[in-house]
Every structure is written in C-alpha cells, then in structure tokens.
Amino acid sequence: MKNQYHSFKLFVVGFLLAAGLNHIPSCSNNESPTQPIDGNPAEYSETQSMKNLSDSLISAFKSENKEKVMNCFNEEFKNTYQPIINNTTKSLSAFGTALEMRKLTFANSLYAEYELTIDGIIYTIAYANSGDSKWQLVRL
Amino acid sequence: MKTKNIIAVILGFIFYYILDGIIFPWGNVYAHPTFNEVIVKFIELNSSKYFPSQYSIKFSQDAVKYKGEAVTSPGYMEIGESEVDYTILEWIKHGGFSADEPEIPASVRHFYDPIMLSGSKYLTNRGTFIEQYYPNPQINAIDWAIGDNPKGEDNNWTLQKGKQFLKIALESADENTKKENAAKAFRCLGEVLHNTGDMGCPPHTRNDSHAAPFGYTFGFIFGSPDPTEELLNVNSIAIYMDADPDPALKSFCDNATTIRSINEKFAEYTNANFFTTQTINGFGNSLIKPINEDGNYPKPLVNDLEYDSDDYIYYKVFPNQYKIKMLKDRYYFVFRGYPYIDKECVSSQANILVPNIIYAGANVIRLFIPKFQITISSVSSEGEIKGTVKHLQTSEFNSIIQYSGKIEIYNSNSSKISTLECSSGNFSGTISTLKTDDEIYAVLPFPGVNVRSNIFKVGSINYNIIGCSITLRNLTADFKQAYPNGYSETIKDGSLSMGFPKDDPNASVSFLNGTLIQEYSNYQHTDGQFYTEKITIKFDGTMENITSLIASWKRTGNFGTYENRITALNIPRDKTVSSLRYGFSGSNLCDVSKIVSLYKLEDYGSYTYSLIDQTWKCKDNSDLVIYISTQ
C-alpha cells in the first residue's frame, strides 16, 4: 500500500513536470511572431472509418486506378483535383506505398490531416466528413 | 525499485500529454465557451484599460450562483432547456455554447458577408442545395445576434434583450428579480461574444458553408468542414492573450461606441485578410479560381502575398509585422497546384485571428457594462449618509438606468461597515459610529462588477459637479511637456488652451478634497480622430492656489495613437487664466454657506485663475447650481 502511494506520488510528479514544461514559453510571440504558438505533441488515432478510406486509397493508388482515386474524393473538391490526377506523370503506386506509412498529425470528428513522405519530401493530405462519419479525401 | 519510480514518473508525464492532446475544433461545445472564458480573463487582467478606475471586474471570482434557463439537452433541430444554477462566468460561457443550439437553425444564421458578394450578407453558399432540406431564413449573423431589427426578433438571447435584462436587474430592488435577470443578461452576453468569435473565423465572413455537427445524418447538405475552423487548437488560445491584435482593428475597437460596429468591422477585417480553402483566388503559379463559385472575393489575393519557393508557402506580413503562413501549394502529383490551408497555416494564422477575437470580445464586454458614477454627497454629524448613483448614458445604454438595490459602505481599510438601500438612484442611511475625518466609500455591487465612489472624508463638503464646462485659454505658466517616445521638454511661459463641452454625457467630472478632475473620453473630432482628454486641477487648502495642473490628450487615428501630457506645478499668481469656469451642484439644499471655498475664489478675482462673474441659483428648489465664469 505504501509502495502504491509512493508510485502515485511519482506519477503526479511526472504529470506536473509535463504540465510545467508545456507551459514554459521558449520565446514570446512578439519576439518571434514567425514562430507561431502551435498545439501540442498530441497523439491521434485513426478510427476504423478513417482507416477504411485509407485502405481504399491505398488500393486505388497502388492499382494506378485514377477513377477509383477520384471516387474517394469529396464532391466539392473533385473539379479541382480531377485534372491533377488525370494529367500527372508521377507514380500513383508510389503514393499508395507512402500512404501505407502515413502519419496522422491531426484528427477530430470531422477532419484529419496526414503526412506522407516520398523521396524524403513530406506532403500533407486531408480527409473530412460532413458529420456523418463518411470520410472522403479533400486534399492530396 | 528505481525502474518502478522512473516508470511512474514517465506514466504521469505521458498521461498529461494524452489529456492535453484532446483537440477541440471551433465548435460550440468547447471552442466558443473557451473563447468566452479567455475574453473574460483578458478583460479582468486589463480592466484598467477598459473601465474607469472605480470599476472592479471580477466575473471569474464571483462564486454566487444565478438561477436561469440553460440548454441542457442540445440537439440538431430541437433542444431542451431547464433551470440551472450557474455563476456569471458560467453563464457567459454557456452563451458561447447555447448560441449554436439548436445546431441546424444556428448553422445557417451564423454567417455575415460584409461585402455581400452574392448580393446578401446572409449565407447563400450551397443555398439551393440546403434549401431542398431546410428553408433559408435569410438572416445574417450580426442581425441575429444583435437583435436590433426584425431579423433578430426570434432570437431570445440577443444583445438588445440582454441589455433589457440588465436594466431590469439594475432597477429592481428585489434580489430574486435582480439575480434572475442577471443570469439572462450574461447568457445574452455570451451569445453575443459567440457572434464576435464567429466574425473572427474566415468561413463565417466569406459565405463558406461548412459541415454540420458530428453525427448529423444530413450533414452533407452544408458542405465539407472548413480547415481553419477544425484545425485551430482551442486548447492553446489562452496563450495568445499577450499577442498583439491588428493595430487598425485595435484602434477601432478601442474607440467603438456600439457592439454592432465592433462585430461588423471585425467581419470586414477577417473577410478582407483571410482565405478559406474554398475561397482562394488571385494569381499564383497560374490563375487560381475559388472552389466555391460564389467565393471570388476581392481581398485577399494570392498575388498580394509573398511566395517562398523553398518551402512552397505564401506569406503575408501583417501591420504588426507578424509574418503569417497563409497558404501552401506543394503537391506530389503536380508542381504547385491549387493552394490549400493546412494545420501549419492555421497555427500561424491563429497568431492574428485569436488575439483579434480576444481584443474585440473585450471591447464588447466594455460596452455591455453600463457606466455609473457613485457619489457620497454628505454625511451629517449624526452619521446620516446621502448619496447618488448616476447612470452615464452611452450609445448602448441611452435610456437612463435608475439603480435600485444594495449600496455597500466601506471604510478606509476596505472593510464593509454597512449596507444601505438605493432607490431610483438615491441612497441614504445612518452609520452612527462614523466620526469626523473618517474616510469611507460606497460600492454598487453587481454580478461580476463592482463600482465604487471616490473616498469621502466625513465632515467635508462634497460637490457634485453638473453641467461642467472647463475652458482654459491662454493659461501662461511653465510647463513640462512629455511625449509618448519618452522625450520631454520644459516650456517657459507656455500657454494652454483646453475646453470641454458642457453637459456632455461622455464627460465625467468629480470635485473632491480640492481636486477637480474632468475626463472626456473617446469623442470623435471633426477631423475623424478620436480624442480622450483629461484635466486635473489641484487647489491648495485655501482654494486660492492651483498647486498642480495636469492636462493630457490621447489622440487616435489612422496614424495610430498619440499621447501628450502637460504638467504645470505651483502656478504663480501673476500668471493669467483668462477663462476658467465650471458649475457645481451642492449636495445640500441651496445652502450658499456650503460653498465658502469657492466663494473665496471670487474675492481673489484679480489674481491668477480669477473667478469672477460668479452666480448661483437654486435649481428646482433642490440642488444648488453655481456657474463661475470670466467670459
């Protein structure tokens, strides 16, 4: 019991330490306005419905099937991205492979952003749904 | 054992970041209440900039609960309300939440396009699509929130209604009526602040409909979610409290006299300075047309931004010199495609958007709180106190509020010594323990706000000054003039001309213990600039000599703010004031002997600030009014 109490105290110490570190400003906004105050090192998790979209996209890109890729897009963005996909000379399958190693950098119930790394360059893509959990691609 | 200890610390460390990592978007459940709370805390920390020194703002310290109707069952089309007990801060936060309830009707009433690109200020984007499912109410966000025209009539929690609730709360002597209406008033304030927050959110000012709340089956009719609204890390907004808002917007807010004008100006600013993902246009790598057909806004334009080809980012340098990431256009499939706003851009833009919301919101609160002047007029030798609560009319509260309710009396140690009753602006009562030279002051206690009087010295005579008009012309003296950059100069035999309008509601005047202070705040001169002028004249004990005179000006215009201050000490008698006039009303009935000090001044008519042409009369056979003039 005494040991458990001791461990709990250390747990609280860790919690407070993190809180303290998180609130020590490295520099004020005025000093460095080009270094905006950002969020925190949050851990996000991909829900099953988001994963379903990711799987569909991976399949579409790896099979180089442009029609399937466009089917994953939100209607509002299709006109913008259709010519990009249609006219690209880049490898769709390379994008699909990168998608398998995607890193989720933000997610809430309506919007998600991922980082993909291809040839050492980081690109971002975004998924969204309109409150109905039907995730679609809105940017790649 | 050591390993166990380390693991415990690490687990605690991780647990913090898990909790902290829960991200909330710009929605009603978390974002708007958080914005409202941060705005309240900001104004509490900076209350001296927003309120006269007699005001104490402490919404977050007021632990008293006020019963009222709150949204307890949120919903898409229908909601449930029931009675709850909240503190004032909780009501303000609740307003941030309840403004979005029920969510579907709210989601089409929270848009305001200041330039009416589609011909109207209300939401039309995806209009024909939405209208198959939900009729367009054709109401813009500001009309809906302010409620000063028929478009806001159906909203029960408008600014107009909030001010009515506040007036009832201030005028009623019944504690329950006061509390009940205070709860309603501050819920209204919270809903108005929600509107202010929305006017700092680009899609709400650029006719860009976005997704319905999570879980709504028909959410698709409203379109896709907006990245700015979703990606803003609301957990971190409090740390923007020290950041600078846009200087022009700040200046406008500082000098605004109506809440509507703040929210309208703010919407204009946000519309003209920020994109949404679907309303980007201009010339970048090629001609960029907005995704929304009705989103071809004239400002900002992509071609007005700075492009950095190394990181594929469009930057904009704002007037406060913040260099903000506005857009990116890096793609794998194409060399520079349609620009987009990602998380990094949103975080950068928060440096402008969030301080603007906090600052505009603080000024909304400033204008929502009525201005009062509390005065202890007299204390008799038996300890009978008389005083007044005078409402200073403003553009928001232009009908007189006659305060009824408690007035607390404090001694110089800030200990409450009595509570008196005030009825329609007049309070009286007896505190038998008071002795000559005791110093006391009166406090009007109101939810979250206390207004205090100046200190009254028992046995002294206090004067209410009414109809004050101070005109100093060609006062010659040795002046020290200080400039905002720290430079100062001494002027020998300088002259000063200064005038205040008579009977102006913006002028506050006090005369106590030989010190005359008049402040005239935020009036707009014919040159379009805003002025605040203050003059403090200290007389010596005989009222024969001016021991110090401080005159200060603050001028705000397109160029920014300019402050000037002139100090003159111990003005000798051989200097000349050609005109110094002001009027007093004594607290006692037409008793000329009570103004003996002033009367003496007339005897020294040949001296410096000679006060000749002194006349007096009884006004309505009650208050004594004296005008002293040399003109």
Determine whether the interchain pair B233/A38 forms a contact, defined as Cβ–Cβ distance below 8 Å: yes
Q: Over the stretch B107-135, which tens digit does the pLDDT of each residue have? A: 888 899 999 998 999 988 765 555 666 77
Angstrom distances, CA of residue B500 to CA of B467, B505, B615:
10, 11, 20
Q: Is the pLDDT of residue A35 over 60?
A: no
Q: Which of the residues A37, A47, A73, A95 would you substitute to probe the B interface, choosing the one with the greatest number of B C-beta atoms within 10 Å?
A: A37
Same domain, residue pair B492 and B357: no
Q: Is the pLDDT of residue B591 over 50?
A: no
Mean pLDDT (whole number) for B35-48: 94
Q: According to the model, what pLDDT value does residue B545 have?
A: 55
Residues 25-84 of A with CB under 8 A from B: 25, 28-30, 33-34, 36-44, 74, 76-77, 79-81, 84
Determine whether the interchain pair B16/A30 forms a contact, defined as Cβ–Cβ distance below 8 Å: no
Q: B370 Cβ partners below 8 Å, 6+ apart?
A: B166, B170, B391, B392, B394, B396, B397, B401
Q: Between B5, B24, B212, which is nearest A130 by CB?
A: B212
Q: According to the model, what pLDDT value does residue A25 have?
A: 33
Better pLDDT: B439 or B595: B439
Alpha-carbon distance A55 to nearest alpha carbon in chain B (angstroms): 19
Q: Is the pLDDT of residue A133 over 70?
A: yes
- Chain A CB contacts of B294 below 8 Å: none
Q: According to the model, what pLDDT value does residue B266 have?
A: 96
Q: Which of the residues A73, A110, A136 would you substitute to probe the B interface, choosing the one with the greatest number of B C-beta atoms within 10 Å?
A: A110
Residue B353 lies in a domain: yes
Question: Taken in order B290, B295, B296, B297, is the CA torsion positive or negative?
Answer: negative
Residue B109 lies in a domain: yes
Residue B305 φ/ψ region, left for φ over 0, alpha for ψ in the -120 to 50 degree band, beta for the rest: beta
Chain CA centroid to CA B362, Å: 5
Determine whether the interchain pair B227/A111 forms a contact, defined as Cβ–Cβ distance below 8 Å: yes
Determine whether the interchain pair A77/B224 forms a contact, defined as Cβ–Cβ distance below 8 Å: yes
Alpha-carbon distance A101 to nearest alpha carbon in chain B (angstroms): 16
What is the value of pTM for the model shown? 0.74
Same domain, residue pair B189 and B149: yes
Same domain, residue pair B414 and B453: yes
Helix axes B175-199, B259-273, angle to 10 degrees: 20
Alpha-carbon distance A52 to nearest alpha carbon in chain B (angstroms): 18
Q: Which of the residues B1, B3, B16, B107 would you substitute to probe the A interface, choosing the one with the greatest number of A C-beta atoms within 10 Å?
A: B16
Mean pLDDT (whole number) for B222-236: 79
pLDDT, chain B, mean: 78
Residue B13 lies in a domain: no
Q: Over the stretch B146-188, which tens digit does the pLDDT of each residue have? A: 999 999 999 999 999 999 999 999 999 999 999 999 999 999 9
Tell me the pLDDT band of B220, cut-offs 50, 70 and 90. Answer: low
Residue B355 lies in a domain: yes
Tell me which of B366, B399, B418 is where a domain ends: B366
Q: Which residue of B has its CA nearest to A24?
A: B239
Q: Between B9, B18, B212, which is nearest A131 by CB?
A: B212
Tell me the pLDDT band of B139, cut-offs 50, 70 and 90. Answer: very high
Q: According to the model, what pLDDT value does residue B175 have?
A: 95
Q: Is the pLDDT of residue B372 over 80?
A: yes
Alpha-carbon distance A24 to nearest alpha carbon in chain B (angstroms): 11
| A95 at interface of B, judged by CB pairs closer than 8 A | yes
Tell me which of B427, B459, B491 is where a domain ends: B459
| Percent of chain B's residues with pLDDT above 90 | 48
Residue B136 lies in a domain: yes
Alpha-carbon distance B288 to nearest alpha carbon in chain A (angstroms): 10
Q: According to the model, what pLDDT value does residue B183 have?
A: 97
Domains plus CATH for chain A? Answer: 48-139 (3.10.450)
Mean pLDDT (whole number) for B492-504: 52
| Percent of chain A's residues with pLDDT above 90 | 57
Q: Between A8, A37, A85, which is nearest B239 by CB?
A: A37
- Do B350 and B369 touch, CB atoms closer than 8 A? no
Determine whether the interchain pair B20/A36 forms a contact, defined as Cβ–Cβ distance below 8 Å: no
Task: For B233-294, give the secondary structure using H, E and C.
Answer: CHHHHHHHCCCCCCHHHHHHHHHCCCHHHHHHHHHHHHHHHCCCCCCCCEECCCEECCCCCC
Tell me the pLDDT band of B228, cut-offs 50, 70 and 90. Answer: confident
Alpha-carbon distance B52 to nearest alpha carbon in chain A (angstroms): 28
Question: Taken in order B177, B179, B181, B182, is the CA torsion positive or negative?
Answer: positive
Q: Which residue of A has its CA nearest to B289?
A: A80
A91: how many CB neighbours lie within 10 A of its CB?
14
Residue B200 lies in a domain: yes
Same domain, residue pair B423 and B439: yes
Tell me the pLDDT band of A114, cut-offs 50, 70 and 90. Answer: very high
Same domain, residue pair B411 and B487: no
Q: Quick one: tokens of B446?
A: 């109101």
| A87 at interface of B, judged by CB pairs closer than 8 A | yes
Better pLDDT: B507 or B277: B277
Better pLDDT: B218 or B474: B218
| A123 at interface of B, judged by CB pairs closer than 8 A | yes
| A86 at interface of B, judged by CB pairs closer than 8 A | no
Q: Is the pLDDT of residue B143 over 80?
A: yes
Q: What whole-number distance in Å separates Cα of residue B248 and Cα of residue B254?
A: 10
Mean pLDDT (whole number) for B44-48: 93
Same domain, residue pair B362 and B378: no
Same domain, residue pair B229 and B275: yes
Determine whether the interchain pair A38/B236 forms a contact, defined as Cβ–Cβ distance below 8 Å: yes
Q: What whole-number distance in Å separates Cα of residue B373 and Cα of residue B441?
A: 12
| Percent of chain A's residues with pLDDT above 70 | 72
Same domain, residue pair B401 and B311: no
Q: According to the model, what pLDDT value does residue A29 have?
A: 32
Determine whether the interchain pair A90/B213 forms a contact, defined as Cβ–Cβ distance below 8 Å: no
Determine whether the interchain pair B332/A25 forms a contact, defined as Cβ–Cβ distance below 8 Å: no
Q: What whole-number distance in Å separates Cα of residue B424 and Cα of residue B166?
A: 15
**Phi, psi dihedral angles at B419 (to 5 degrees):** -125, 125
Determine whether the interchain pair A131/B348 forms a contact, defined as Cβ–Cβ distance below 8 Å: no
| ipTM reported for the complex, 2 dp | 0.74
Determine whether the interchain pair B333/A108 forms a contact, defined as Cβ–Cβ distance below 8 Å: no
Better pLDDT: B101 or A40: B101
Q: Is the pLDDT of residue B609 over 70?
A: no
Better pLDDT: B429 or B507: B429
Q: Between B16, B23, B244, which is nearest A108 by CB?
A: B23
User: What are the CB-based long-range contacts (under 8 Å, 24+) for B107-111?
Assistant: B107/B212, B107/B213, B107/B222, B108/B134, B108/B136, B108/B137, B108/B209, B109/B137, B109/B139, B109/B140, B109/B141, B109/B144, B110/B141, B110/B144, B110/B195, B110/B198, B110/B204, B111/B140, B111/B141, B111/B204, B111/B205, B111/B207, B111/B209
Residue B165 lies in a domain: yes
Q: According to the model, what pLDDT value does residue B465 have?
A: 43
Tell me the pLDDT band of B26, cut-offs 50, 70 and 90. Answer: low
Q: Measured in Å, how far apart are chain A's first and last C-alpha atoms?
A: 54
Burial of B417 (0-12, 13-18, 19+ CB in 10 A): middle
Same domain, residue pair B540 and B476: yes
When mean pLDDT is compared across B72-76, B278-282, B422-426, B627-631, the lowest value belongs to B627-631
Tell me which of B405, B431, B459 is where a domain ends: B459
When mean pLDDT is compared across B58-72, B93-107, B281-295, B467-481, the lowest value belongs to B467-481
Same domain, residue pair B542 and B585: yes
Tell me the pLDDT band of B562, cut-offs 50, 70 and 90. Answer: low
- Chain A CB contacts of B347 below 8 Å: 36-39
Q: Is the pLDDT of residue B575 over 70?
A: no
The range of the structural domain enclosing residue B477 comes to 464-628
Same domain, residue pair B250 and B106: yes
Q: Which of the residues B10, B17, B278 would you substitute to probe the A interface, choosing the one with the greatest number of A C-beta atoms within 10 Å?
A: B17
Q: A26 Cβ partners below 8 Å, 6+ apart?
A: none
Residue B590 lies in a domain: yes
**Structurally, how many domains does chain B consist of?**
3
Q: Quick one: tokens of B52?
A: 């006269």
Same domain, residue pair B120 and B241: yes
Tell me the pLDDT band of B494, cut-offs 50, 70 and 90. Answer: low
Q: According to the model, what pLDDT value does residue B375 have?
A: 87
Alpha-carbon distance B218 to nearest alpha carbon in chain A (angstroms): 7
Whose structure tokens read 């009825």?
Answer: B423
Helix axes B343-368, B31-45, angle to 10 degrees: 60
Q: What whole-number distance in Å separates Cα of residue B305 and Cα of residue B295?
A: 18
Q: According to the model, what pLDDT value does residue B278 have?
A: 92
Determine whether the interchain pair A110/B211 forms a contact, defined as Cβ–Cβ distance below 8 Å: yes
Q: Is the pLDDT of residue B289 over 90?
A: yes
Tell me the pLDDT band of B597, cut-offs 50, 70 and 90. Answer: very low
Q: Between B8, B25, B291, which is nearest A76 by CB?
A: B291
**Strands B80-86 and B66-73: what pairing?**
antiparallel
Determine whether the interchain pair B225/A19 forms a contact, defined as Cβ–Cβ distance below 8 Å: no
Q: Which residue of B has its CA nearest to A79?
A: B291
Tell me the pLDDT band of B200, cut-offs 50, 70 and 90. Answer: very high
Q: Between A81, A108, A138, which is nearest B25 by CB?
A: A108
Q: According to the model, what pLDDT value does residue B103 have?
A: 80
Determine whether the interchain pair A79/B219 forms a contact, defined as Cβ–Cβ distance below 8 Å: no
Beta-carbon contacts below 8 Å between A and B: 203
Q: Is the pLDDT of residue B570 over 70?
A: no
Q: Is the pLDDT of residue B576 over 60?
A: no
Angstrom distances, CA of residue A68 to CA of A71, B77, B543, B555:
5, 36, 91, 63
Better pLDDT: B453 or B581: B453
Picking from B356, B157, B140, B158, the residue whose alpha carbon sits closest to that of residue B265 is B356
Determine whether the interchain pair B225/A111 forms a contact, defined as Cβ–Cβ distance below 8 Å: yes
Q: According to the model, what pLDDT value does residue B75 have?
A: 82
Q: Which residue of A has its CA nearest to B322?
A: A33
Q: B342 Cβ partners below 8 Å, 6+ apart?
A: A113, A124, A126, A139, B227, B231, B328
Better pLDDT: A136 or A21: A136
- Chain B CB contacts of A70 below 8 Å: none
When mean pLDDT is compared across B75-79, B282-286, B303-307, the lowest value belongs to B75-79
Determine whether the interchain pair A90/B231 forms a contact, defined as Cβ–Cβ distance below 8 Å: no
Determine whether the interchain pair B214/A110 forms a contact, defined as Cβ–Cβ distance below 8 Å: yes
Q: Between A29, A87, A118, which is nearest B351 by CB?
A: A29
